[in-house]
Structure 1
Amino acid sequence: MFFKSALLVAGACVASVFTTAAALTKGHDLSSVALMETTQGAQWISTSGKTTTIESILGDAGMDSVRLRIWTDGDYDLDYTLALAKRFSKAGYKIYLDMHFSDTWADPHKQGIPAAWDKTSVTTLAAALRSYMKSTLKSFTDGGVTIDILSLGNEITVGFLWPTGKITNSNYGNFATLWKAARQGVTDAVAAGTKKPKVMIHIDNGWDYRQRHKYPGNTKPGNTRKYIYFYQSNY
């Protein structure tokens, strides 16, 4: 579950420039719904005993947005996530896309570079990231899906695309370069017709005040201030 407006809900906080009640967003991460339905035969039963969809149940309870993770390969690849995004978008829900920039899970303990990407140098990796970002957003646009919120990385407190983009000893240089490339990919997609999403940075340990406040300043050379939301997970 996630909210905008610096509210703590189910261990997550999104710091937003919006403070009015109208800006409040209520949502759930439903990334695994299709996998559960196809591989486990999951069914969704309402409190009245009716078999329905999970989005109908949660929508009746006030959900207006759906968070979806996307990997560069594996279970949550583009084809899988785009199909799920189409389903929820057609049902009237806003889409929050969580980019992992990895072939598998990306979190504070692992942020692997996709196997197919050129990791010869930070320059070649940045080029691959920028191209991937543009093509991915274009695929969603071509599929009729508008991205409302876009997280460039998942729990990237110590960077992403390790080891190249890992933050070590307060050295944010390579990470800032890579994040800027991802952000430029968004700009490229918007120039090609994608509706501009609200860009987000997502870190963990939101309770760590010092980490939370030094992060934007240390990444300033990469123009990471070109974001709207600063999302913090609290576990």
Structure 2
Amino acid sequence: MTKTLIEDKDISFLDEIGTLEVTNEDDGQTLDALEIMKNNGVNAIRLRIRNEPAGGFRKLERTLQMAKQIKALHMHFLLDFHFNHKWAYPEDHSKSKNRVHLGREALNDQVFNYTYYVLSVLKEQGALPDMVQISSEITHGHLWNESKVDGDFGSNDHWDHYMTSVISGVVAAKSIDSAINIRLGDGGELQ
């Protein structure tokens, strides 16, 4: 079995940059940014998607366009679901305003339904990711406060909701036949 080293880039902001008058050049030749990356050893691309994106970027329509480009170049594609409207990082996974009133079961249903819907659309368009990441940098949980798992929020009840919420996304992805990657913000750091 041959092992391939993955050399990846997160290009979630590339479509936003593309709205500016930017020229991508490699050795004096104007090329698409993805082509330049591939020509220089990048073989995998990560995209972030949000179901309520601020500013309209990182939504399904734009993700689909970029996913088709990635697949056309035969690059490995990782899709990272962010279940909030803003940047997600270990210190803040607050729910978006449209979710503040939702209970645990409704949140789990939304995670499942949105993951399933996005992957169904991508599959129909021949742009299914090779790997899926259910939420991002989830060391301390996600969709706070119900799924926050540190400090005063580290109860068994919070852990249970955190895991069932993530599993909702995993089950949705697996039902579309995607490989799953869960990334922790502090992955690999031992105390």
TM-score bracket relative to the smaller structure: 0.7 to 0.9
Other-structure match for 1:187? 174
Aligned residues: 183
Which ranges of structure 2 fall in alignment gaps of 5 or more residues?
none
Structure 2 length normalisation: TM-score?
A: 0.87
Query: Which of 143, 151, 161 lines up with 1:174 in the alignment?
Result: 161
Is 1:161 the counterpart of 2:143 in the alignment?
A: yes
Other-structure match for 2:89? 107
Q: Distance in 2 between matches of 1:92 and 1:207?
A: 29
Shift in Å, 1:33:
1.1
Other-structure match for 2:21? 41
Kindly report which structure 2 residues correspond to 1:6-45, keeping only aligned pairs within 5 A, or say none: 22-38=3-19, 40-45=20-25
Cα offsets for 1:115-172 (capped at 9, x unmatched): 4448532112111211111111101111210211111111000011111111134432
Kindly report which structure 2 residues correspond to 1:122-141, keeping only aligned pairs within 5 A, or say none: 122-141=104-123
Q: Distance in 1 between matches of 2:14 and 2:83?
A: 21
Cα offsets for 1:19-43 (capped at 9, x unmatched): x7623211111111111011x2221
Structure 1 length normalisation: TM-score?
A: 0.72
Report if the CA contact (8 A) 1:119-1:125 is conserved.
no
**Root mean square deviation, CA, Å:** 1.9
**1:116–1:86 CA distance, 2 compared to 1 (3 A):** farther
Other-structure match for 1:120? 102
| Identical columns (%) | 21
Other-structure match for 1:205? 186
Which ranges of structure 1 fall in alignment gaps of 5 or more residues?
1-19, 191-195, 211-235
